[in-house]
Chains A and B, each alone.
Chain A
Amino acid sequence: MSKLPEKERMLGMYRQMYLIRKYEERIYYLFLEGIMPGTIHQSTGQEACAVGMLYDLRKDDYMASTHRPAGHDLAKGVTLTSMMCEMFGKEDGCCRGKGGAMHTGDMEVGALVANAIVGGNMPISAGVALAFKMMKKDNVIVCFFGDGATNEGAFHESLNAAAIWKLPVIYVCENNLYSATTSIALTCNKPNPAADRAIAYDIPAEVVDGNDVLKVNEAATRAIARARTGEGPTVIELKTYRHGGHSRNDACQYRPKEEEKAWFDRDPVKNFRSYLLSQKLVAEEELQTIEKSIESDVDQAVEYAQNAPFPQIESALTDVYWEGK
């Protein structure tokens, strides 16, 4: 994709960011209306992290996500319809209804089933990268995690392994300043919980504005090049902010209002839109056409998912063990 002309590249990124924004928005309302089952951790506000990091990955590269996976999955190419069906627990879901909101993913496009154990995807990503290395493939894996995950033993053990074996893994911390309701400042003495600690493991680290998709993409380009050419892991810490509560049940009353306002003003989607217009890369009408078509795609996905059949109940008993294709 990096060979695309500038305008197409930019619009491609905008499309993905806008899709994530609208997808999460629709889901938010479907939950409020009580139509959608389960719980949900939304990525609204963090779209630039997902899109900037994943835009230049190849389809056969991998990505490992967390309990907040929708942005990552959509950016890696999991289809909108299969995501929406999974949210409703339908047979056509990307995990055939067995995974749910915290476990979306699709191996066909290199999106590992998302992991709801904080830090749980980090050693797995080291393992995926180890396999690439042992099998002499030039693939890479991007592993996302939150600021809170940096306090897990799994973070430290994985970084160390990635460093000593020079693994083709990019560890991406989306530092949205909170782990659930707890400010990261209360649980880590360092200002950059991922990047500052990466140094101790001898891994190069960058701290980047996670709300600026182009800056994120530049950092991604550097890290991907390193990983692909056998130079080993990189840690990228993206400063960002979630627009909503931690999960569906969180009214989010623990963040200072001024802090929220400052971050909401730095809305990654709106700001990138303004940037595209100010650079005259695209005209207002063209953007509106793109946006309308994405909105209608989301509407159609919801419509499809709501009418799609549930899995046969007996299917609950299959897939416990691999039985071959």
Chain B
Amino acid sequence: MALLSIADALKSAIAEEMRRDPLVFCLGEDVDIPGGMGGAFTVTKGLGEEFGYERVLNTPISEIMLAGVCVGSAMMGMRPVADLQYGDFLFCMMDQLVNQAAKMCYMSGGKVHVPMVMRAPCGASNRGAQHAQSLEGFFTHVPGLKVICPSTAYDAKGLMKQAIRDDNPVLVFEHKLLYGGKRKEKDAISTIGEVPEEDYTIEFGKAAVRREGKDITIVANLLMNYKALEAAQILEQEGISCEVIDPRTLVPFDYETVVNSLKKTGRLMIVHEDNYNCGWGAQLGSWIAENQIFLLDAPIVRVATYDTPIPFSPVLENYVIPSKERIVEEARKLMKV
């Protein structure tokens, strides 16, 4: 076992896959300039030295090209792992991702596939509205894309390896406040955790139960999973027992683990930093309503970022994004229903 931050776990996953398979390569703006940062969050720092700058491509600032080069090279059998610096720039490459990458396999009648990985740092961190969004829900709406969101070092490594080996386009949402690398972010959470030295992968579509409980099922991803765990601790002292589930991947989604939990609790709360309207919680909530409504003893509650762009001012940012206090309050209300 090694003790790694998420940033280092991702790095070791990419490096091991590059050692294992010569077709894997990584690319992006500033991915690894000697003396530079290694992407915006240190993940790819040092890879150029080991693998050479033919396999670690520092690209121009050209997001359409970046995504398109992934699509084209992947169709020819390469396995690109691209770094976007900030997930907000996904919108700069929408055509190549959504009209091209996501549809190639289908449009060709299953004759081509696009094994590419797009890494998108997400989450609010006092940088203002264009460097803050949590877009994972947005992309769950696109058939043909897989969407994953690791929140621990163990998951980051196992899921990243799985993403690189997957034969489809995979979007990886990595939370800025969870990297835990050398780059210090205000309000960051330390994610240093045990990661096996030997090769392992984590299957997509398998949620993790982070805490067991019997009164409320809380499904929360990325940073919000940590806030839900903090809230669960407070609620426990009040006699409210929360089961906290981390979906880990949104497409595919593990409904079964949620259903099994609801069989115990009968109460569902969904927490995400993505905003409320049509976030991934809306999908989960309606799926439960459609398929398992009789498991519910109370209405479903969604705690999400309010439907605004992310404001800069720390007081405003803290207000629009779900806090542990808001989770606690909503949980208390839910127990009174």
Q: How far is the CB of A112 from chain B (nearest CB, A)?
A: 14
Query: Quick one: closest B residue to A318, CB to CB?
Result: B308
Contacts of A289 in B (CB 8 A): none
Residues of A within 8 A of B92 (CB): 117, 152
Interface-centre pick from B59, B61, B130, B319 (highest chain A CB count, 10 A): B61
Give a binary string over B294-320; 1 marks a CB under 8 Å from any A CB, 0 the rest: 000000000000111101111110011
* CB-CB under 8 A for A117 and B88, given A38-B128, A316-B320, A317-B306: yes
B141 contacts the other chain (Cβ, under 8 Å)?
Answer: no
Mark contacts of A114-139 with chain B using CB atoms, 8 A cut-off: 1 yes-contact digit, 0 otherwise: 01111110000000000000000000
Q: Identify which of A89, A99, A102, A153 contacts B64 (C-beta below 8 A).
A: A153
Is the interface on chain A under 10, 10 to 19, 20 to 34, or 35 or more residues? 35 or more
User: Majority SS of interface residues in chain A?
Assistant: loop
B313 near A100: Cβ-Cβ < 8 Å:
yes
Which of chain A's residues 83-116 have a Cβ closer than 8 Å to chain B? 86, 89-90, 93, 95, 97-103, 115-116
Asked if A38 contacts B127 (CB within 8 A), the reply is yes
B312 touches A181 (CB 8 A): no
Which of chain B's residues have a CB closer than 8 A to the CB of A310? 313, 315
| Beta-carbon contact of A254 and B35 below 8 Å | yes
State the majority secondary structure of interface residues on B: loop
Please, what's the 1-or-0 string for B16-49, where 1 marks a CB less than 8 Å from any CB in chain A? 0000000000000110011111000000000000
Q: Cβ of A38 and Cβ of B126 under 8 Å apart?
A: yes
**Is B111's beta carbon under 8 Å from chain A?**
no
Q: Is A186 an interface residue (CB 8 A)?
A: yes
Question: A320: CB under 8 A from chain B?
Answer: yes
Whether B186 is near chain A, meaning CB under 8 Å from some CB there, is: yes
- Given contacts A37-B186, A100-B126, A100-B312, whether A117 and B36 have CB atoms under 8 Å apart is no
With the chains together, A320 CA to B89 CA distance in Å?
A: 21
Q: Which residues of B contact A99 (CB under 8 A)?
A: 128-129, 312
Contact between chains at A316 and B308 (CB < 8 Å): yes
Q: Chain A's nearest CB lies how many Å from the CB of B177? A: 13
Contact of B308 among A86, A153, A180, A317 (CB under 8 A): A317
Interface residues of A in 163-197 (CB under 8 A from B): 179-183, 186-188
Instruction: Let me know if B313 and A311 touch, CB within 8 A.
Output: yes
Distance to closest chain A CB from B34 (angstroms): 6
Contact A103 to B312, CB < 8 A, known contacts A151-B60, A179-B61, A180-B30: yes
Contact residue among A39, A116, A188, A250 (Cβ-Cβ distance under 8 Å from B37)? A250
**Interface bin, chain B:** 35 or more
Return chain B residues, CB-CB under 8 Å to A320: 307-309
With CB as the reference atom, state the residue of chain A lying closest to B308: A320
Docked CA distance A100–B316 (Å): 12
- Closest chain B residue to A320, Cβ basis: B308
Complex interface: chain A residues within 8 A of B130 (CB): 102-103, 115-117, 120
| Minimum CB distance partner of A252 in chain B | B35
Q: Is the CB of B312 within 8 A of A98?
A: yes
Which of the residues B30, B63, B88 comes within 8 Å of A182, measured between beta carbons? B30
**In contact, B128 and A103 (Cβ under 8 angstroms):** yes
Does B58 sit within 8 A of A, measured CB to CB?
Answer: yes
Closest Cβ of chain A to B129, distance in Å, is 7
**Residue-wise interface mask of B (120-135) relative to A, using a CB-CB cutoff of 8 A (1 in contact, 0 not):** 0000001111110000
Known contacts A38-B128, A99-B128: A316-B306 contact under CB 8 Å: yes
Beyond A116-B128, A182-B29, 17 additional pairs, beta carbon < 8 A:
A38-B128, A97-B316, A98-B129, A98-B311, A99-B128, A103-B128, A117-B88, A148-B60, A179-B30, A181-B36, A181-B37, A183-B33, A249-B37, A254-B34, A311-B315, A316-B311, A317-B320
Query: Could you name 20 residue pairs across A and B whose Cβ atoms are closer than 8 Å?
Result: A100-B126, A101-B312, A102-B128, A103-B312, A116-B131, A117-B89, A152-B62, A179-B29, A180-B29, A181-B30, A182-B29, A182-B58, A183-B33, A187-B60, A187-B61, A250-B37, A255-B35, A313-B319, A316-B308, A316-B316
